[in-house]
Structure 1
């Protein structure tokens, strides 16, 4: 451990807080919408960097399943403790106000004891050093899991209580400025998204007279989806495209995975194909395929057509008019768009040479938008780095000056220990 400033002390989470486990329930006990007598349950999707978001991505269970301690309180540190994705495990945020809801079984809450500044503990648990340690502890073969002891044994540098308050005040002063900059950048990013949609809407709108050579057509007249699924072998070396590999609203592939990791029915993909994600069509996921590969069975795969350029088709399916059509006509609890419905979508089909020109104009505008978005993303990454730099300074004692008159942290920890109920001694059987 690094040396601490005078008056500071090391402590484990178990010494200064208590752990609240998540609510356990059966799948059939949960509903997607609130009902009388039901309360919301937060999950990992409700954690954003440094903050909680409880306005969507919730499920609801009977209030009877939620213990009093499991309702979230202001200052609670809400943590994702279990996930198939290591990038999710260890995410945490401070709950800003009392919330009439609980947290799921793959989550945990660390609740500071009264003599610890709750925000001080919450900010430290968001620091990069803690997140890295938790990810190392959680790494597993299938499910990455933080155990109770992993959390309770986490070591925390404890400043004198008065200094904790000064540190939190300074952190929040700096973070409020960073929040304002971040909000401005995200607002600009949203406007760029609207601009992208406007460009596509202008290119594909149908309220006009058709130029010579153009015709009004339905998708079924132009393309036919590839049928048949395959199951990959353990030694299959082909790339694999899951729905999570497709970025919403951009027609971009984020990354490829390995087919050998997916032992399930898969779609066959070839260069020139257009892959459309039929599950949750409001997410607007459609991409061009540039390599022989396999993909999710939730993809509708449209092979190359003689009268339709693949890129033109991809842009057509990503324009807002089609997204609204697909969303309105999807069915099921997990909404899906069936080909029988998708094929009826009508659009204006230009000759191939005009398609090429339209694609070129759209891509030219998109490339300019992309440059600006890259700059925005760089700015957002820089803000995230600055937050971590502030936390590193704060918990090494360099963010605010020390006051030698502050009560030492060791005295604070002794007082906390004395105020806690003594643990019952284990009974030993007398020897015969």
Structure 2
């Protein structure tokens, strides 16, 4: 680490934030006074969500309030530091960003502005507010109080080392030099993440449009062998069953390859009255029946693209589940599809071997007829761009954020022959395995970058006994 940072924080006098800055409260306004559109006579106002990655987002997600609500002192100036002091999200509280140049705007009541005095360099103070020393103090002050709130006194009593201004500027220059290289590396890693996301989407799209593997029709032509087309497969599977009349889509989808056919989700479901359904509504689904353990409840948060999650679990009383909720349950291998979201229609498969669970009203469960469709192929289709465009209405020039059960039942699915489905699934799995490996490496490097950033800030602001502990903790991520 640079010699500029070798002289640790213990070498300088310690001050509190109120010694070196003025704390300014945020603007208050009523819901009726606020608008999300800029207007004459209105001032843009930042909220906690405008503080991202240690910087202020000044171009989007703003609220505009009448100029009369904003005092002259509440108008932001270059060098001010906006801090999130209250938020429904714990991870936002304490985050901050520096105002690098004059900006005609202010900040809301759930934030505060720290305005540095002449005895401190604003960039030095802003760097301290990102350091492990700062976060350790914030953590202690949150003990015993609402962790989603930082009080005025909490901020004003924060302690930090105060070297002479010339030394502060040297430290800032060294931090900026080191972070410039680090930021470039992080930006490259983020570009790789974005490219992996596009790569995954292109693999799924190619898979469900017949462009990822050779079609059964092509292979059969090469081998001069007959094959069962998807049309024949579907007719055989649904024989004797009655369905609502289904018409193939006329727009919004690519043309089908030879041997494929359009089918509705309903036609691909198992021959069971409960094969397609969503959870019960509030008349019988009540929070008073929730328990610390029991039958897991599947909420929207548990269904991610291609992955079933178990974070923040909820449980239903076992007796109540047996009495009322077994028909709304999954037992292993079923598909879970979100009715709400941006976009709706996200799909994951419920794992086999972990016991039953019940879905909520915002989650659809689907048991498939495995004689006609591979459940993994169907999961890949639901998460593909063509399916997303149908779920959101984009394929038909409309917009929707809810996928209703009737609409889901009629959702068109491009169905390949069964053997081709198996080859498609194997090839998608191969691509996704590569993507997961690279994603894991990218995430590990991003964590290393964050650890290095915190270790550098610890060197600049923490007493010697904290530096080693902090560095070790960060590198264990």
Same topology, TM > 0.5: yes
TM-score (norm 2): 0.72
Partner of 2:243: none
In the other structure, the counterpart of 2:261 is: 215
Counterparts of 1:199 and 1:152, CA distance in 2: 53
Shift of the 284–207 alpha-carbon distance from structure 1 to 2, 3 Å rule, reads: closer
Q: 1:361 to 1:168 in 2, by over 3 A?
A: same
Aligned partner of 1:302 in structure 2 is: 365
Match of 1:346 among 394, 401, 412: 412
Cα offset for 1:277? 3.2
Task: Provide Cα deviations, 1:404-423, integer angstroms capped at 9, x if missing partner.
Answer: xxxxxxxxxxxxxxxxxxxx
Distance 1:385 1:358, change over 3 A: same
Distance in structure 1 (CA, Å) of the matches to 2:377 and 2:42: 47
Shift of 1:4: 4.7
SS at match of 1:348: strand
Greater helix share, 1 or 2?
A: 2
Query: 1:336 and 1:26 mapped to 2: Cα distance?
Result: 30
Aligned equivalent of 1:417: none
Contact 2:16 2:157 (8 Å CA) reproduced: yes
After superposition, the Cα gap between the structure-2 partners of 1:251 and 1:62, relative to the gap in structure 1 and judged at 3 Å, is: farther
Q: 1:42 to 1:337 in 2, by over 3 A?
A: farther
Cα distance, 1:172–1:280 mapped onto 2, change above 3 Å: same
Structure 2 contact 359–365 (Cα < 8 Å) conserved: no
Distance in 1, matches of 2:179 and 2:422, equals 47
Residue matched to 1:358: 424
Residues in 1 aligned to 2:347 and 2:79: alpha-carbon distance in whole angstroms? 41
User: 1:273 aligned to 320, 323, 334, which one?
Assistant: 334
Unaligned runs of 5+ in 1: 399-432
Cα distance in 2 for residues equivalent to 1:396 and 1:349: 61
Distance 1:67 1:162 in 2: 33
Q: Residue 130 of structure 2 is aligned with which of 119, 123, 126?
A: 126
Instruction: Note closer, same or farther for the CA distance 1:354–1:51 as it changes in structure 2 (3 Å cut).
Output: same
Deviations 1:229-267 (A, max 9, x none): 3224342424455545555xx433454213269xxxx99
Q: Larger radius of gyration, structure 1 or 2?
A: 2
Structure 1 pair 325–138 and aligned structure 2 pair: CA distance change class (3 A) = farther
Q: Give, in whole Å, the separation in 1 of the partners of 2:433 and 2:134.
A: 38
Contact 2:279/2:363 (CA < 8 Å) preserved in 1? no
For residue 15 of structure 1, give the secondary structure of its aligned residue in structure 2.
helix
Q: 1:367 aligns with which of 411, 433, 443?
A: 433
Summarize the Cα distance change of 1:283–1:118 in structure 2 as closer, same or farther, 3 Å threshold.
Answer: farther
Question: What residue in structure 1 maps to residue 380 of structure 2?
Answer: 315
Tell me: CA distance 1:203–1:257, structure 2 relative to 1, closer, same or farther (3 Å): same
Query: How far apart, CA to CA, are the structure 2 residues paired with 1:114 and 1:77?
Result: 15
Unaligned runs of 5+ in 2: 1-7, 210-252, 270-275, 317-324, 465-477
Does the CA-based 8 Å contact 1:18-1:111 persist in structure 2? Answer: yes
| Counterpart selection for 1:384 from 445, 450, 465 | 450
Asked whether the equivalents of residues 268 and 368 of structure 2 are also in contact (C-alpha less than 8 Å), the reply is: yes
- In 1, the alpha carbon distance for the partners of 2:88 and 2:177 equals 36
Q: Distance in 1 between matches of 2:367 and 2:99?
A: 50
**3-state SS of the aligned residue for 1:39?**
strand
The change in CA–CA distance for 1:313 and 1:61 in structure 2 (over 3 A counts) is farther
Partner of 2:246: none
Partner of 2:94 in structure 1? 90
Count residues in correspondence. 385
Q: Which of 235, 249, 259 in structure 1 is aligned with 2:291? A: 235
1:9 deviates by 0.9
For the 8 Å contact 1:84–1:142, the answer to whether it is kept is no
- SS in structure 2 opposite 1:257? coil
* 1:14 and 1:152 in contact (8 A); partners too: yes
Q: Tell me the SS of whatever aligns to 1:83.
A: coil
2:97 aligned counterpart, secondary structure: strand
Deviations 1:280-314 (A, max 9, x none): 323874322225345664x3313212144443332
Which one of 265, 274, 277 corresponds to residue 225 of structure 1? 277
Query: What residue is the counterpart of 2:249 in the other structure?
Result: none
Aligned to 2:322: none
